[in-house]
Amino acid sequence: MAGSGTDKSKPAADLAGPVVILVEPQLGENIGMCARAMGNFGLKRLRLVKPRDGWPNVHARRSASGADHILDAVELFETVGEAVADCTLLFATTARAHDQAKPVRGPEAAAQEMITAAVGGGTAGILFGRERYGLENHEVALANRIVTFPVNPAFASLNLAQAVLLMGYEWFKHATGGALPYAMPERSEPASQHQMTAFFDNLVAELDRVEFLRPPEKRDTMLVNLRNIFTRMDPTRQDIHTLHGAVMAIAEGRKGPAKGGVLDGAQATKLRALLAERAAAGHGDDAGSMRGLARMLRRNPTDAERLLWEHLRKDRRFAGQFKRQTPVGRHIPDFVSFPHRIAIELVNPDESDAIATDRAARKDWLEARDYRVVLIEAAMVERDIAEVLGRLEAVVKG
């Protein structure tokens, strides 16, 4: 799978770009980051003049983020003169004027000149100086042009990779005509006026039902404003379908899983009591019924269970460690952590003897299989969830 923006299944840009020349770079990390910047914009030729820490350099490869093909083809030179000997057009990057009578270009104009030189069969090069103090006067003197960046004059220093990236970006932009690597495809045709009218009529009908368009004397103005909101969007057919569905869902109200279940908290508590009594009466061996029970309880949590589950999912101490209403053998504890072998049972108020008996049997079964069973009063969860979570943390830590 491709990484963040890197896709080796796509063909690499094959363009005759300028040579990047780093003069006495000090850190291998900087060389690697320069190679990465070059790779971003299709530059391939990297030359090093007396790198301080020698070559090859493991730190350069680590920071190149996959631009190994550039590092593998690095050329080494002892002097700047040797490194630029074949260049027919040479730019020296510097933030200082150096008091030399040379044409000064911005990166955009420099990129255009480099492209022209390549078309004519020449070799363009870009000199980048040392991290601490840049290029010396005699090195700038070798260049045909000076290139500098429109930066804050009071804070003009760029690091090496930033300077390489800026020049690479301008060159690649002009070499490719500014073409972007991808565009968002049009997934749905524009909505027709008929669709817009049908949607708006439905919206107005629902707003009328809740008496939103009031007072009557402002109704027409409100309708015009509402219609303009949607016409300014230039919606597609799919947009209108989605908006229509959203309006109808709001109008019909939440139901089913969107509400957390089909029962409210009190009804869910009664359901759990009935199911526990059914299990205590000896109907717990049916695997199909147990799976159905798990699904039913999962969709219909009590208020206490919903509150505790929300914290177990979001609290960093427990996130990802617990499951809700998951069968353990033929039993279904309220919450279970398989990594920690902990089962949590919520004790609801005024429970019947059948429910208590069923829970005791479940507790014995789980403890016989090395599970730690934690009994928590549902009222305590709703009254002081922080204390409950602190108790659970102590159990998890053993």
DSSP state of 317: T
Euclidean distance between CA atoms 132 and 278, whole angstroms: 80
Euclidean distance between CA atoms 127 and 147, whole angstroms: 10
Q: What pLDDT score does 304 carry?
A: 87
For the chain, the maximum distance between any two Cα atoms, rounded to a whole number of angstroms, is 100
Euclidean distance between CA atoms 58 and 43, whole angstroms: 21
Q: From edge to edge, which strands make up the β-sheet containing 75-77?
A: 75-77, 46-49, 19-23, 124-128, 89-93, 145-147, 104-105
Euclidean distance between CA atoms 270 and 58, whole angstroms: 67
Buried b (16+ CB within 10 A) or exposed e, 44-66: bbbbbbbbeeeeebeebbebbee
So where are the chain's domains?
A: 19-175, 193-253, 265-396
The amino acid present at 367, given as its one-letter code, is E
Euclidean distance between CA atoms 275 and 37, whole angstroms: 64
Q: What pLDDT score does 1 carry?
A: 37
CB atoms within 10 A of CB 30: 21
The closest of 315, 225, 299 to 262, measured between CA atoms, is: 299
> For the domain with range 19-175, which CATH number is right: 3.40.50.150, 3.40.1280.10, 3.40.50.920, 3.30.1330.10?
3.40.1280.10
Q: Please state the length of the chain.
A: 398
The closest of 88, 89, 75, 73 to 22, measured between CA atoms, is: 75
Q: What kind and span of H or E run contains 192? A: none
DSSP state of 78: S
| pLDDT in 10s for each residue of the chain, 398 residues | 345 556 666 666 678 889 999 999 999 999 999 999 999 999 999 999 999 999 999 999 999 988 999 999 999 999 999 999 999 999 999 988 777 888 999 999 999 999 999 888 899 999 999 988 899 999 999 999 999 999 888 888 889 999 999 999 999 999 888 888 777 666 678 888 988 998 999 899 889 888 888 888 999 999 999 999 998 988 888 888 889 888 887 877 655 444 445 555 566 666 666 666 666 565 545 555 555 655 666 666 778 888 998 899 889 899 889 998 888 887 888 899 999 999 999 988 877 777 788 888 889 999 999 999 999 999 999 999 999 999 999 999 87
Superfamily of domain 265-396: VSR Endonuclease (3.40.960.10)
Q: What kind and span of H or E run contains 390? A: helix 385-396
Euclidean distance between CA atoms 105 and 303, whole angstroms: 69
- CA distances in angstroms from 281 to 41, 130, 285, 350, listed in the order given: 73, 84, 11, 19
Q: What pLDDT score does 106 carry?
A: 93
Q: What pLDDT score does 258 carry?
A: 43
β-bridge partners, 130: 134
Which tens digit of pLDDT belongs to each residue from 219-255? Answer: 999 999 999 999 898 888 888 888 988 888 787 765 5
Euclidean distance between CA atoms 142 and 164, whole angstroms: 19
End-to-end CA gap in the chain = 41
* DSSP letter for each residue of 197-212: HHHHHHHHHHHHHTT-
